[in-house]
Amino acid sequence: MAVCGRPRWRDQYTGMCHSRGEVPSDTGIGRAPIDTHRRDRYAGAKALPNDHDAPNSPDERAAAGTGLVMAARAWWPIGRPRARFPGAAVAAAARCARWRGCVVVSAALWLAGCSSLPIFVPDLSHRDASAVQLASARGLLTESRSKAVLDRLRSRAAPTSIFERHLALEEEIVGSPLVIGNRVSLLKDGPATYDAMLAAIAAARDHVNMETYIFDDDAVGQRFAQALIAKQSEGVQVNLIHDSVGTLGTPRAFFEQLSAQGVQVLEFNPVNPLELRKDWEINRRDHRKLLIVDGATAFLGGINISGVYTSGSSTVLRRSHADELAWRDTDLKIEGPVVAEFQKLFLQTWRSQKGEPLAVRDYFPTLKPVGDQVVRAIGSSPQDAYSQIYATLLSAIYSAESSVQITNAYFVPDPQLLDALTAAALRGVDVSLILPSQTDSWLVFHAGRAHYTRLLRAGVKLFERRGVILHSKTALIDGVWATVGSTNLDWRSFLHNYELNAVVLGEQFGGQLQAMFDQDLARSDAVTLAQWERRALDARLKELFARAWGYWL
C-alpha cells in the first residue's frame, strides 16, 4: 500500500491514497509529469466530462493514447486480491445438477478474490510515426526498410495523418510486434467460418493446434472431432486446449475419444481439484478461440465450436428465451508471418498449464509474405501486469479523430472505458455502438443498459441489433485501426479471462470491417435519449440490480 502523508484523492478500486501529480512510491516510478485534473477524471470521477476535460487537439489526443502503457504500469495495484463471487459462478451453477463436485466449486468461488483494472493516465508524450519499427518473417526490419514499407502504406491511404497517428500509437503498446506481409480475411457467422476451418484442417500436413472455450458434443462438435481424428490418423499431430468451465456440459467420453486416437488434449484450469496440474484458479478462464494449421494459417474471433451457429439454439451455458434465434458472430482467417505470434501464445498457454510435452513438429516454419496487411497478435491473461487488449483499445479511442465504431456482445464497461467513449463523443467524434437487443445472459444485458443514459447524454449513438443473438467483438476506429477477437467489453474479459485479439492497421481491411458494420447497422434499431428516458420502471429496476453485479459478470 502506498503511503502519502497528505492524501488528496483515493483510488476507488485499490483504496490507495495519492497526492496530486504523484505516482505511488511502491511502484518504483516516482513522480510523473501528468495533468492532475485529467488524472483525477480517468481515475474514476463519475461526473459527465465536459468538452474542456477531454484531449482536444490531434497531438494531445495522440499523446493521451501513447502514454497509457507506462501509466498502466505505474497505477497497477500491488498484490491484487481476488474476486469473492466471480462470473464463472453463473456457468458453474448452470451445471450444478450434473456435476458431483458442485459443493466444492461453490465454496471455491466464494473464496476467490477481487482484481482491479489499472488506472490509465495520459502522459502527454507523443512518438513520431516515422520511428516505428516493423517486423517481417525474418525478424525486425531495419529503420530504412520500415520507412519504405510505411511510405508504401501511406501512399494508399487518404491524405491525412490519421494512419500515422494510429501506427505510432500501436507501436507504443509493448508486447508482440507489428508484423507486415499478411493476408487477412473477414469471416461472418458460423457456417462460413466452420467451412473455412474444416477445409484448412483437411489440408493440414504437419500439425493442428486448437484452443477453444466451448466444444460441444453436438453435430458441429462431432464434425470437428472427426476431422481432427482423421488428421491424427494420417500422422498430423493434433493438439487441443479446451476450457474446463466452457466444456462442463460436454461428456468426458467426448474428449477421451480424441485422446484415444492420439490427439493431445489439455483441459484448461480443471474445475475438479483432483485433476489439477498447478494452482486452483477456477475464476481464470480460457476464453480464446484459436485454430492454427501448419504454423501458417490462423483462425480467431468469437466463434466457439457449437451447434448454436447452425441450429439457432442457445449454448448449454446460457439458456434463455433466445433459443430459437440465429447467432451473429465474426472471425478472422490470417495467413502470413504474424501467425508465428499466435503460435507462441498457444504454446505459452500449453506450457503454463503444465501440459504433457508436445510431439516434435515444425511449429515455426519459414513464412513468406502473402499479403500487405500490418497485423499485431495480442493475447491477454490475468497473470499479465495489465491487459494489453484493454490498453490498446483505450489508447485508440483516446486518439480517435473521426469515428469509433464498436460491435460487442457483452457490454459492461468500467469507468475508464465509459470516460473514453463519452469524451470522444463530446469532442465531436462519431461514436457508434451496436449492442444486443436480445441476449443469452440476462444480467450482462441489463448491466450494460444501466449505462445507456450517460452515453446518450454525451452524444454516443446506440443501436441494438435485432433478430439475432449478437456475439461479435469488433472495433473500427478512424477507418484504419481495427480489431477482431474474443474480448468482450466487460470486467471479466479484461481481468479474469485469457483473451485473444488481432489488431489490423490500414484502410484496406478497415473498409471491409466498415462494410460489415454498416450491414449490421441497417439491421439495428436506434436508441434515442427521449425514448430511453421513458422506459418502464421494471426495466430500471432490472438495470439497478444487474449493475451491482457488473464486476463479476
- Locate 128 and state its grid cell: 513520431
Catalytic residue among 126, 287, 333, 446: 287
Mean pLDDT of 268-292: 87
H helices, E strands: number in the chain? 20, 24
Distance separating alpha carbons of residues 531 and 446, to the nearest angstrom: 16
Please, which pLDDT band fits residue 260 given cuts at 50, 70 and 90?
A: very high
Task: Give the domain-ending residue among 319, 352, 385.
Answer: 352
User: Does the residue 168 lie in any domain?
Assistant: no
Say whether pTM exceeds 0.85: no
User: Does the residue 134 lie in any domain?
Assistant: no
SS3 sequence of 255-285: HHHHHHCCCEEEEECCCCHHHCCCCCCCCCE
User: Does the residue 334 lie in any domain?
Assistant: yes
Using an 8 Å Cβ cutoff, are 398 and 371 in contact?
A: no
Spatial CB neighbours of 393, under 8 Å, sequence gap ≥ 6: 417, 475, 483
Mean pLDDT of 196-216: 98
Q: What is the CATH number of the domain that holds 197?
A: 3.30.870.10
Q: How many domains does the chain have?
A: 2
Whether 324 has a pLDDT exceeding 80, the answer reads no
Segment among 104-108, 248-252, 364-368, 449-453 with least mean pLDDT = 104-108
Whether 244 has a pLDDT exceeding 50, the answer reads yes
User: Does the residue 469 lie in any domain?
Assistant: no
DSSP state of 495: I
- The per-residue pLDDT for 548 is 81
Segment among 26-40, 84-98, 457-471 with least mean pLDDT = 26-40
Query: Is 289 noted as a catalytic residue in this protein?
Result: yes
Task: Give the domain-ending residue among 313, 333, 352.
Answer: 352
User: Does the residue 347 lie in any domain?
Assistant: yes
- The per-residue pLDDT for 114 is 56
Using an 8 Å Cβ cutoff, are 253 and 342 in contact?
A: no
- Give, for 505, the enclosing helix (H) or strand (E): strand 497-505
Together in a domain, 204 and 328: yes
- Locate 487 and state its grid cell: 474480448
- The per-residue pLDDT for 101 is 41
- The per-residue pLDDT for 46 is 33
Region label for 117, one of left (φ > 0), alpha (ψ between -120 and 50) or beta (otherwise): beta
Q: Cell 503498446 appears where?
A: 173
Task: Give the domain-ending residue among 299, 321, 352.
Answer: 352
Percent of the chain with pLDDT over 70: 65
Nearest to 381 by CA among 263, 240, 211, 142: 211
User: Does the residue 452 lie in any domain?
Assistant: no
Question: Tell me: the pLDDT tens digits for 4-43?
Answer: 333 333 333 333 443 333 333 333 322 223 333 333 333 3
Segment among 32-36, 111-115, 474-478 with least mean pLDDT = 32-36
Together in a domain, 196 and 59: no
Please, which pLDDT band fits residue 145 given cuts at 50, 70 and 90?
A: low
Together in a domain, 192 and 336: yes
Please, which pLDDT band fits residue 135 given cuts at 50, 70 and 90?
A: low
Segment among 124-133, 176-185, 376-385 with least mean pLDDT = 124-133
Among 11-15, 115-119, 127-131, 499-503, name the most confident range: 499-503
Query: Is 216 noted as a catalytic residue in this protein?
Result: no
Q: Cell 495523418 appears where?
A: 161
Query: Is 53 noted as a catalytic residue in this protein?
Result: no
Question: Tell me: the pLDDT tens digits for 370-389?
Answer: 999 999 999 999 888 778 89
Q: Which residue has the higher pLDDT, 281 or 359?
A: 359
Query: Is 478 noted as a catalytic residue in this protein?
Result: yes
Together in a domain, 342 and 222: yes
Catalytic residue among 473, 490, 496, 542: 473
Catalytic residue among 126, 289, 451, 542: 289
Query: Is 294 noted as a catalytic residue in this protein?
Result: yes
Catalytic residue among 189, 419, 478, 490: 478
- The per-residue pLDDT for 525 is 97
Whether 452 has a pLDDT exceeding 80, the answer reads yes
For all residues of the chain together, what is the average pLDDT? 76
Together in a domain, 326 and 188: yes
User: Does the residue 176 lie in any domain?
Assistant: no
- The per-residue pLDDT for 167 is 66
Together in a domain, 71 and 192: no
Whether 70 has a pLDDT exceeding 50, the answer reads no
Segment among 137-141, 454-458, 464-468, 523-527 with least mean pLDDT = 137-141
Catalytic residue among 242, 471, 496, 542: 471
Catalytic residue among 217, 294, 331, 520: 294
Among 309-313, 445-449, 509-513, name the most confident range: 509-513
Distance separating alpha carbons of residues 88 and 491, to the nearest angstrom: 12
Segment among 48-57, 188-197, 336-345 with least mean pLDDT = 48-57
Mean pLDDT of 86-104: 40
CA torsion angle for 397, 510, 300, 329 (degrees, to 10)? 90
- The per-residue pLDDT for 119 is 61
User: Does the residue 370 lie in any domain?
Assistant: no
Whether 319 has a pLDDT exceeding 60, the answer reads no
Mean pLDDT of 165-191: 81
Provide the β-strand partners of residue 470. Answer: 328
Segment among 32-46, 114-128, 475-489 with least mean pLDDT = 32-46
- Domain hosting 69: range is 9-75
Together in a domain, 63 and 210: no
